[in-house]
Amino acid sequence: MQELEKKLNYTFRNSALLQEALNHSSYANEHRSAHLHSNERLEFLGDSVLGFVTAEFLFTRHPESPEGDLTRIRAALVCEQSLYEVAQRLGLGQYLKLGRGEEAGGGRERTSILADAVEAVFAAVYLDGGIEAASALIHRCLLDVQRESVVEERRRDYKTALQELVQRHADQVLSYQMVDETGPDHAKTFRAEVQLNGSSIGAGSGHSKKEAEQAAAKAALESLGE
């Protein structure tokens, strides 16, 4: 745990909190006789702590932005994909305690499990060191300038932009096709192609079909722009 604490740049006074944050429900269920708690309660609390810290950050950083814009930016900042990326940078998967079935199924790389564990760690730090310690960790992990710029990119709806562009001319038909799917079930990569009147105008990849279609639309916009 000292190795993870070093990555977090935080030393726990009560190390049991960090241990609990890493206990997946599958592990707790397999060790009921040990009366272990899973990280689900911490995840619940961590979601609220993360939401508050992020809201305060955006409220201060964007004093002129209306509530709707702040809500959309916050949703993108704290989405599952953003938290998964935090977990990847911390190498959090290697510290998780999983049940045998979850371990065999690739749980250490599953996006939802890693994202939930990040929220649980945020809650553990909050309970151990208070809101200032939790806020400092969330800022280090998530709320830097570069992170927000990445989120702004993610927020763009390329499919809608492409649709609006092609609709400037009559009788234009856009369609999306999944052309490839690779990787294990817990870490699939999808490749999509967007066609205009039956001809390919862009392709892109992502970890979900929606993400792949957005990437394809972005490529198409860049191609049509040229």
- In the chain, the domains with their CATH numbers are 2-155 (1.10.1520.10), 158-225 (3.30.160.20)
Among candidate residues 30, 40, 47, 211, the one labeled active-site is 47
- Of 20, 119, 128, 148, which is the active-site residue? 119
Q: What is the mean pLDDT of residues 39-52?
A: 97
In this structure, are residues 189 and 183 in contact, taking their beta carbons and an 8 Å threshold?
yes
Q: Is 109 a catalytic residue?
A: no
Is residue 147 scored above 70 in pLDDT?
no
Residue 23 pLDDT level (bands cut at 50, 70, 90):
very high
Alpha-carbon 158 to chain mean position: 19
pLDDT tens for 117-135 read 999 999 999 999 999 999 9
At residue 169, the pLDDT reads: 85
Q: Which residue has the higher pLDDT, 169 or 24?
A: 24
- What pLDDT digit, counting tens, does each position of 88-122 carry? 999 999 999 999 988 888 889 888 999 999 999 99
Binding-site positions = 43, 116, 119
User: Mean pLDDT across the stretch 35-51?
Assistant: 95
Beta bridge partners of 23: 97
The binding site for Mg(2+) comprises 43, 116, 119
pLDDT at residue 223 above 90? Answer: no
Tell me what pLDDT residue 10 has. 96
Furthest C-alpha separation in the chain: 68
User: Has 69 been annotated as catalytic?
Assistant: no
Strand arrangement, sheet containing 174-182: 174-182, 189-196, 199-206
Model confidence band, residue 187 (pLDDT cutoffs 50, 70, 90): confident
Q: Tell me which long-range contacts 60-67 makes (C-beta under 8 A, separation of at least 24).
A: none
The helix-helix angle for 145-155 and 67-77 (nearest 10°) equals 100
